[in-house]
Amino acid sequence: MSKLNIQEGSPLQAHLPAGHVSEKWDNYKAGIKVVNPANKRKYTVLVIGTGLAGASAAASLAEMGYNVKAFCISDSPRRAHSIAAQGGINAAKNYQNDGDSIWRLFYDTVKGGDFRARESNVYRLAQVSVSIIDQCVAQGVPFAREYGGMLSNRSFGGAQVSRTFYAAGQTGQQLLLGAYGAMMRQVDAGKVQLFTYREMLDLVVVDGVAQGVVMRNLKTGELESYAGDAVLLCTGGYGNVYFLSTNAMNSNATAAWRCHKRGAYFANPCFTQIHPTCIPVSGDYQSKLTLMSESLRNDGRVWVPKKAGDKRPPEQIPEDERDYYLERRYPSFGNLVPRDVASRNAKAVCDEGRGVGESGLAVYLDFAESIQRLGLKTVEDRYNNLFEMYERITGENPYKVPMRIYPAVHYTMGGLWVDYNLMTTIPGLFALGEANFSDHGANRLGASALMQGLADGYFVVPYTIGDYLAGKAPVKAEAAKGEAFTQVRGEIQGQIDKLLSIKGTRTVMELYRELGLKMWDYVGMSRTEEGLKKVLQEIPKLREEFWNNVRIPGDADGWNKNLEFASRVADFLELGELMALDALYREESCGGHFREEYQTEEGEAQRNDEAYSYAAAWEYTGNFAQPVLHKEPLEFENVKPSQRSYK
């Protein structure tokens, strides 16, 4: 058992409905309270974030008759990070007649998550996946199609069926524009009020219940208060703690983290996903990493030279001196093993000195064989935009030279803890999409984040919110003028004034990069007790350095990107510590959380179900080093936990 001295609080109750996993959602819907149409317009829902989760929730709730106020950081809701998703969205349609089913999608997701997800949520996700595709097609989302007019599918990692729907390499864009359109239609109808250029800096809790938010208007610098009957946090993941990641530059943890500090428990913060196929780092000035979609592994073959230190260009390495290591080690899944497995294997071959490219931190993803088998035209049809993007960034043509790829931080499975209703531990505060922890366990399968974001927003929260609101006395907009709001605004103003007054010598980006590197080195692809203990010493020091020596130019009276980033980095410096602590406390390997001390003889993740079959939800106590741990025990009644095998 752990040597860490962690205080444990009461276990968490997820409010799961009764019945067999396949009946729970129907039973739940049959039993919930609903708000009658005439009463819906008395309630105001604040939707924070307009990515897939937020835009779909805002549209659906407004259609039902609720008043919605929707907020986003950018100049338009259409810019949300979801726009960048490339490869596709899963759904158990079984259009390919290849044996897919709700059950199989459920099974794959629970297994893919390495048995650290909540079965009943995952089953519901698989159930509603089917309606998502119907909804999106009805909205005019131009998915890829066959000549006969039917929808086309591709395969993604961790599955042996083709259930991924896509729109070239721009699936996220098309899905988001669909949800954004649906939301804008409600803006036109007067049911959604849209607030762009707004960053949520705090949650206002009154009598233990979420009652509103404080926003900073990024254009004018003013702090604004908004009151509502429920707050839906749809603010995405926290992958940017690592500085370099595939996330958009403005993705951040601030909204979720500040809710955490107001009482929402943060679950499984150490479950982060490293994506195996990204364009490798090229220099210190680098600001982000670019993903090459997992869909490329449908047709690209991953390899490195058999010999360590072989620096010949790829075309000079003969076939029998290449190691197609994924095909060799995992014959039944081959290049389509789940992400955590693919990433770790890439790291392992590079650690053996077999990495390619200048830095030796890359492996090849080779399309030569596919181009020969399928013809250039087919490969172009499938991936051209990705190939072009690769060429723009690296200056190399992947039709001729194999791509060089390396793993990068991509997604965060952890997030605010939510119950079956997607409600956090603060009544009235819900978390949707990547911001919650609910469905992916310790590893997310490709094409399942888009599915989850839209499931939460279109088909889950519209039901579960009714159960919360029914019978509740509606909050008036004027409540935002109340004492509680004034006080929170004062605290935020204090923080902003403090940041600007430090006038130190180091830029926000310098300090941020330093944190990011530490996180990557010690809380990244593989973790050790020693490394985690070390970083737990270092983060608080860096935090102190930040608060004493950061230099933020300009003022708070208007647009100031450095100030925006500074307040986000301040939160990363706190969340990073919790991530390391969670990683240290979980003395097992599972999914994306790989502790070197816990591996099988073959180097695969070794879970410890007896001790760690739970979601770890952390409560903030005012002292970052001493959070209280609440466990939600996980029960697997349907998919029996086993050592994952993709052999």
Partner 1 sequence: MSDNMRMKLKIWRQKGPNSPGAFRDYELDNVSSHMSFLEMLDVLNEKLIKEGKEDPVEYDYDCREGICGTCGVVVDGVAHGPVRRTATCQLHMRTFRDGDTITIEPWRSEAFPVIKDLVVDRSAFDRIIQAGGYVGVNTGCAQDANSIPIGKEEADKSFFAAACIGCGACVAACPNASASLFVAAKISQYAHLPQGKPEATRRALRMIEQMDAEGFGNCSNHAECEAVCPKGISIDNIAVMRREYLKAALKTGSATI
Ligand X SMILES: Cc1cc2nc3c(=O)[nH]c(=O)nc-3n(C[C@H](O)[C@H](O)[C@H](O)COP(=O)(O)OP(=O)(O)OC[C@H]3O[C@@H](n4cnc5c(N)ncnc54)[C@H](O)[C@@H]3O)c2cc1C
Residues 475-514 that bind ligand X (CB under 6 A): none
Among ligand X, partner 1, none, the one that 187 touches (CB under a kind-dependent 5 to 8 A) is: partner 1
Q: Which amino acid appears at position 49 of this protein?
A: G
Residue in 46, 70, 133, 267 binding partner 1, rule: CB under 8 A: 133
Q: How far is CA 462 from the centre of its chain?
A: 21
177 binds partner 1 (CB under 8 A): yes
Stretch binding partner 1 (CB under 8 A), from 141-149, 209-217, 263-271, 527-535: 141-149
Minimum distance, C-beta of residue 367 to ligand X, in the bound complex (Å): 19
- Residue with Cβ nearer partner 1 (458 or 612): 458
**Residue 171 binds which entry of partner 1, ligand X, none, CB below 5-8 Å type-dependent:** ligand X
State the residue for tokens 């998919």: 639
Nearer to ligand X, 445 or 523 (CB): 445
CA atoms of 151 and 474, how far apart (whole Å): 44
What's the closest the beta carbon of residue 323 comes to ligand X, in angstroms?
A: 28
Site membership for partner 1, residue 131 (CB under 8 A): yes
Q: What Cα–Cα distance (Å) separates residue 194 from each residue in 74, 127, 187?
A: 12, 31, 7
Say if residues 452 and 20 touch (Cβ distance below 8 Å): no
**Is 129 near ligand X (CB under 6 A)?**
no
Say which entry of ligand X, partner 1, none residue 104 contacts (CB below 5 to 8 A, set by partner kind).
Answer: none
Question: In sequence order, what are the beta bridge partners of 70?
Answer: 47, 194
Question: Does residue 180 belong to the site contacting partner 1 (CB under 8 A)?
Answer: yes
To partner 1, the closest distance from the beta carbon of 72 in angstroms equals 11
If the CB atoms of residues 23 and 146 are measured against partner 1, the closer one turns out to be: 146
Q: Measured between alpha carbons, how far is 395 from 380 in angstroms, rounded to an integer?
A: 18
Q: Is 22 exposed, middle or buried (0-12, 13-18, 19+ CB in 10 A)?
A: middle
**Chain Cα centroid distance, residue 486:** 32
Q: Which candidate in 301, 339, 543, 568 is catalytic?
A: 339
The answer to whether 603 contacts partner 1 (rule: CB under 8 A) is: no
* Amino acid found at 580: A
* 200 touches, from ligand X, partner 1, none (C-beta below 5 to 8 Å by class): ligand X
User: Which of partner 1, ligand X, none does residue 269 bind to, with CB < 5 to 8 Å depending on kind?
Assistant: none
Cβ(559)–Cβ(216) below 8 Å: no
Question: Which residues have C-beta within 8 Å of that of residue 603, sequence separation ≥ 6?
Answer: 344, 348
- Find which of ligand X, partner 1, none residue 48 binds, CB within 5 to 8 Å per kind: ligand X
x/- map, 147-186, ligand X, by CB under 6 A: ------------------------xx--------------
Q: CB-side exposure of 262: number of CA atoms within 13 Å?
A: 28
| Coil, helix or strand at residue 618 | strand
Cβ contacts of residue 135 below 8 Å, gap of 6+? 454, 458
List the x/- string, 439-458, binding to partner 1 by CB under 8 A. -------------------x
Per-residue contact string for residues 444-463; x = within reach of ligand X by CB under 6 A:
---xxxx--x----------
Per-residue contact string for residues 223-262; x = within reach of ligand X by CB under 6 A? -----------xxx---------xx---xx-xx-------
Percent of residues in the chain assigned helix, strand, coil, to nearest 5: 40, 15, 40
Q: Which of 463, 466, 459, 454 is nearest to 180 (CA)?
A: 454
The residues in 199-218 that bind ligand X, with binding defined as CB under 6 A, are 199-200
Minimum gap (Å) between residue 54 Cβ and partner 1: 14
> Measured between alpha carbons, how far is 459 from 147 in angstroms, rounded to an integer?
31
Quick check: is 339 catalytic? yes
Q: Which among ligand X, partner 1, none contacts residue 236 (Cβ within 5 to 8 A by kind)? A: ligand X
Please tell me whether residue 54 binds ligand X under the rule CB under 6 A.
yes
* Cα gap 155→163, rounded to integer Å: 6
CB-nearer residue toward partner 1: 197 or 324: 197
C-alpha distances out from residue 595 to 6, 245, 287, 583, 643, Å: 19, 21, 28, 8, 16
Pick between residue 50 and residue 225 the one whose CB is nearest to ligand X.
50
Among 8, 188, 319, 602, binds partner 1 (CB under 8 A): 188
In the complex, what is the shortest distance from the CB of residue 250 to partner 1, in angstroms, rounded to a whole number? Answer: 5
Residue 170 found at the interface with partner 1 (CB under 8 A): yes
In this complex, which beta carbon is closest to partner 1, that of residue 251 or of residue 343?
251
Find the binding residues for partner 1 in span 387-406 (CB under 8 A). 388-389, 392-393, 395
Spell out where 333-441 has E strands: 363-366, 403-412, 415-416, 429-431
Piece of the chain touching partner 1 by CB under 8 A; list 6-14, 29-37, 181-189, 581-589: 181-189
Contacts of 218 (CB under 8 A, 6+ apart): 73, 197, 198, 199, 559, 564
Q: Answer left, alpha or beta for residue 416, where phi above 0 means left and psi between -120 and 50 means alpha.
A: beta
Among 46, 64, 88, 344, binds ligand X (CB under 6 A): 88
**Closer residue to ligand X, CB minimum distance, 183 or 532:** 183
Report the site for ligand X in 67-86 (rule: CB under 6 A).
71-74, 80-82, 84-86
Does position 142 interact with partner 1 (CB under 8 A)? The reply is: yes
287 binds, among partner 1, ligand X, none (CB under 5 to 8 A by kind): partner 1
Q: Give, for 294, the enclosing helix (H) or strand (E).
A: none
d(CA 510, CA 505): 10
Q: What is the dihedral of CA 80, 86, 89, 95, to 10 degrees?
A: 150
Q: Is 87 in the site for ligand X (CB under 6 A)?
A: yes
Question: Exposure of 394 by Cβ count < 10 A (0-12 exposed, 13-18 middle, 19+ buried)?
Answer: middle
- Sorted by sequence, the CB contacts under 8 Å of residue 429 that are 6+ apart come out as 203, 210, 230, 231, 233, 259, 264, 423
| Shortest reach from residue 173's CB to ligand X, in Å | 10
Number of residues that bind partner 1 (CB under 8 A): 82
Binders in 410-429 for ligand X, by CB under 6 A: 410-411
**Distance of alpha carbon 460 from alpha carbon 222, whole angstroms:** 34
Query: Which of ligand X, partner 1, none interacts with 184 (beta carbon under 5 to 8 A by kind)?
Result: partner 1
Q: Which is nearer to ligand X, 24 or 198 (CB)?
A: 198
Smallest separation (angstroms) from ligand X to the CB of 436: 8
Among 15, 476, 561, 647, binds partner 1 (CB under 8 A): 561
Locate 35 and state its tokens. 């708000």
Collapsed DSSP state (helix, strand, coil) of residue 194: strand
Q: Which residues bind ligand X (CB under 6 A)?
A: 48-54, 71-74, 80-82, 84-89, 171-172, 198-200, 234-236, 246-247, 251-252, 254-255, 291, 410-411, 433-435, 447-450, 453
Instruction: Tell me which residues are annotated as active site.
Output: 339
